[in-house]
């Protein structure tokens, strides 16, 4: 049993350690999947933000609604996009620029619901990977010290080997977890930037008209 503790490489013996390694490996695959999906969605949201603001910019500048041709615009294949714009037109009529901007940003959040949901899933996955890595590491350390106690071993290299294996699991979990949290933070920042950009364009158009 003593020699079994001196395995080379990241081989984990406790059940929790093995489950943690499997979870972190699965989280790595999900991280790449979410990253690719969110890159695609980020590009789409930038286009939706521009298209969503365009008819209302014209409405503010000219005072007349010209959104009936939205269905023919490039990038509006999602039927809910046109539905949201037409519903907004009925809701923002007669509103001042600030309430109008708030309603349009809420509509952008509705269109971005899958993007927001993926960002939330990445955040949960990140915290889970960090926690699972920590629990797996503690389980490995506990099993290692228990094995040393049973074999009455005091060899330093045996202790160092077990601690190194446990630390590797912790580092794997932290690396994947922090990457997920970073990706989730970038997604929220991207959506926040689109909100600010859309609000600035609408308010600038309102100020320009009032001059």
Rank 11-20, 151-160, 186-195 by mean pLDDT and report only the highest.
Answer: 186-195
Which of the two residues, 139 and 78, has the higher pLDDT score? 139
Identify the CA nearest to 77 among candidates 116, 40, 51, 57.
51
Contact 204, 160 (CB under 8 A): no
- How far is Cα of residue 16 from the mean position of the Cα atoms in its chain? 27
Q: Which phi and psi angles does 16 have, rounded to 5°?
A: -65, -35
Tell whether the model's pLDDT for residue 9 goes beyond 50: no
Q: Give exposure, 147-161, as e/b (b: 16+ Cβ within 10 Å).
A: bbeeeeeeeeebeeb
- Between CA 107 and CA 45 the distance in angstroms is 12
- Between CA 90 and CA 114 the distance in angstroms is 25
**Predicted model pTM:** 0.77
- Between CA 48 and CA 51 the distance in angstroms is 5
Which residue matches tokens 């209302």? 56
Name the token pair of 145: 């010290």
Residue 7: pLDDT band with limits 50, 70, 90: very low
- Between CA 109 and CA 48 the distance in angstroms is 11
pLDDT at 58: 74
Contact 6, 158 (CB under 8 A): yes
pLDDT at 75: 54
pLDDT at 178: 95
Give tens-digit pLDDT for 91-102. Answer: 776 667 778 788
Give tens-digit pLDDT for 136-180. Answer: 888 888 777 766 666 665 555 555 666 777 788 889 999 999 999
Give tens-digit pLDDT for 103-140. Answer: 888 888 888 888 999 999 999 999 999 999 999 888 88
pLDDT at 121: 94
Tell whether the model's pLDDT for residue 197 goes beyond 60: yes
């Amino acid at each position: 049993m003593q020699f079994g503790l001196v395995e080379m490489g990241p081989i984990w013996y406790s059940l929790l350690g093995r489950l943690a390694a499997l979870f972190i490996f699965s989280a790595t695959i999900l991280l790449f999947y979410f990253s690719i999906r969110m890159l695609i969605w980020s590009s789409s949201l930038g286009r939706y933000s521009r298209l969503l603001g365009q008819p209302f910019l014209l409405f503010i500048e000219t005072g007349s609604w010209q959104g009936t041709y939205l269905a023919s615009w490039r990038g509006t294949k999602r039927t809910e996009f046109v539905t949201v714009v037409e519903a907004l037109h009925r809701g923002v009529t007669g509103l001042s620029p600030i309430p109008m901007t708030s309603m349009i940003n809420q509509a952008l959040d509705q269109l971005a619901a899958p993007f927001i949901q993926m960002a939330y899933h990445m955040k949960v996955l990140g915290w889970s990977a960090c926690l699972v890595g920590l629990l797996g590491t503690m389980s490995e350390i506990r099993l290692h010290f228990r094995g040393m106690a049973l074999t009455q071993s005091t060899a330093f290299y045996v202790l160092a080997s077990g601690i190194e294996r446990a630390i590797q699991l912790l580092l794997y979990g932290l690396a994947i977890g922090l990457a997920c949290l970073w990706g989730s933070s970038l997604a929220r920042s991207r959506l926040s930037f689109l909100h600010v950009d859309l609000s600035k364009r609408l308010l600038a158009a309102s100020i320009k008209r009032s001059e």
